[in-house]
Amino acid sequence: MVRALNVAVAGVGLILTAPIQLVIAVLVKLSSPGPVFFTQPRVGIDRRRGAPTPEQLSRREKDYGGRLFQIYKFRTMVQGDAKPSQVWASENDPRITAVGAVLRKYRLDELPQLWNVLKGDMNIVGPRPEQPDIFRNLREQVAAYQRRQRVLPGITGLAQVSHHYDRSVDDVRTKVQYDLEYIHRRSLVEDLRIMARTLPVMVGKKGSL
């Protein structure tokens, strides 16, 4: 039932935002050289039961804590030549374009993630997926961090509508508690409630969507 809701919301969302996304795509292309979309590996759901066994670990070069997938966004930075390091985004990053700054301000760069929802990589609501290297570091510093991977990651979530952008590991710890609270009481009604709280957060430019 929850999955059906996510597919329905993503499908309707893509139809309703198609004109907006088309305009954004044109603006991104005109604002600086480079592709319209930005893709990046993120850590998704971990469907293993319990801790990974030595046999499971031996079959993979690295234990990323979940299935890796490519997240989609509108590009908001100038195109770089080198492979970018996996670090938290900075609001004042000089690489952010003028169009990108507006997209980030209103979280419009996240709209292509509706395709991630249709593909089954994500849900509308869930813990935000992190980059693999950052995930591995936080897993060592924040208790119960990996428990967030028990469910599909989301475009929005209880942590995002309840707390600001991460500025420190302490912020991550706070958000993990929100994520675990969400997982504990996860339901169709809870997802609808968080979706309803998301739009005011976007318009008011609060939280960390």
Amino acid at 37: F
User: Helices then strands (H, E): number in the chain?
Assistant: 8, 4
Q: Which residues of the chain have pLDDT under 70?
A: 49-61, 81-92, 203-209
Task: Write down the pLDDT at residue 88.
Answer: 59
Whole-number Cα distances in Å, 182 to 1, 12, 171, 186, 201:
17, 24, 17, 5, 18
Task: Write down the pLDDT at residue 90.
Answer: 59
CA angle 112, 178, 44 (to 5 degrees): 40
Task: Write down the pLDDT at residue 159.
Answer: 94
pTM for the predicted model, two decimal places: 0.86
Cβ atoms 122, 116 nearer than 8 A: yes
Task: Write down the pLDDT at residue 53.
Answer: 58
Cβ atoms 149, 66 nearer than 8 A: yes
Task: Write down the pLDDT at residue 82.
Answer: 45
